[in-house]
Chain A
Amino acid sequence: SQQGEEDPQALSIQEGENATMNCSYKTSINNLQWYRQNSGRGLVHLILIRSNEREKHSGRLRVTLDTSKKSSSLLITASRAADTASYFCATNQGAQKLVFGQGTRLTINP
């Protein structure tokens, strides 16, 4: 079964607005990663946050992690049309594989 669950499943906003996506998981993790997928093909790694970190920034991306609530959020500020994609969180629980959520489909309207 999927470990991470993204919320919402789909999000549609206007260009320039901020987009927030959430991810919940069930077991202890070493780290949590966010990936982007365009057109249902290869995934692109966005950011990794370790279990002892609470917040991390990369450009227009801000990720938070709350291990007490087993949740993470991804914030994309000043969204652009090119941000339209599916976003997945993935957790690593000590094994080598990543466990992915179902993803959030983000649409940025011009």
Chain B
Amino acid sequence: GAGVSQSPSNKVTEKGKDVELRCDPISGHTALYWYRQSLGQGLEFLIYFQGNSAPDKSGLPSDRFSAERTGGSVSTLTIQRTQQEDSAVYLCASSLLPGKGSEQYFGPGTRLTVT
């Protein structure tokens, strides 16, 4: 079946603009994660959704970042008033089961460049 998809694959925006990044998880996967990867670095956790539970937002770096997941499927990560330090690859992942580190399936990522 189809894997995790993300759009756009690349986004260039001017400093101060808002951006929306989209993630379509694998059908039937209950858990969805957003990570950020700066150039040459490891992945930084941003936010986690599980079913109808309140999301774990503990990784969001500032209140300019927000995310939602509609209908338990598609998720949108929104960055308001983008800054140059927001430039990174934003990766989405989903997993079938939420518990205790089930294997996560990653999308190809969105490369965000803030000029």
Known interface pairs A2-B42, A42-B106, A45-B105; A97-B100 also in contact (CB < 8 Å):
no
Asked if B37 and A40 sit within 8 Å, CB to CB, the answer is: yes
B42 and A33 contacting across the interface, CB-CB below 8 Å: no
Once A40-B89, A92-B100 are accepted as A-B contacts, the answer to whether A97 and B33 lie under 8 Å apart by CB is: yes
Q: Pick from A53-61, A64-72, A100-108 the stretch touching chain B.
A: A100-108
A103 touches B100 (CB 8 A): no
Q: Are B106's CB and A44's CB within 8 A?
A: yes
A99 at the interface (CB under 8 A from B): yes
Q: Which of A63-101 contact B (CB under 8 A)?
A: 88, 90-92, 94-101
Q: Is the CB of B43 within 8 A of A88?
A: yes
The residue that B103 contacts in the complex, of A33, A88, A100, A101, with Cβ under 8 A, is A33
Select one of A35, A94, A100, A102 contacting B100, CB under 8 A.
Answer: A94
Partner of A100, one of B43, B56, B89: B43
With A96-B56, A97-B56 as contacts: A31 and B109 at CB distance below 8 Å: no
| Interface size of B in residues (CB-CB distance below 8 Å) | 29
Convert B43-76 into 0s and 1s, putting 1 for each residue whose CB lies closer than 8 angstroms to a CB of A: 1110010100000100100000000000000000
Q: How far is the CB of A105 from chain B (nearest CB, A)?
A: 9
- Nearest neighbor of B4 in chain A, beta-carbon distance: A42
B45 touches A97 (CB 8 A): yes
Bound form: Cα–Cα A105–B35 in Å: 20
B104 at interface by CB-CB < 8 Å: yes
User: Is the CB of B31 closer than 8 A to any CB of chain A?
Assistant: yes
With A30-B100, A48-B101 as given contacts, are A97 and B48 in contact (CB-CB < 8 Å)? yes
A–B complex contacts, Cβ < 8 Å, 19 sampled: A4-B42, A31-B100, A31-B101, A40-B39, A41-B89, A41-B108, A42-B91, A42-B108, A43-B43, A43-B91, A43-B93, A43-B104, A44-B106, A88-B43, A91-B101, A96-B100, A99-B45, A100-B35, A102-B41
Chain A residues at the B interface, C-beta cutoff of 8 Å:
2, 4, 30-31, 33, 35, 40-45, 48, 88, 90-92, 94-103
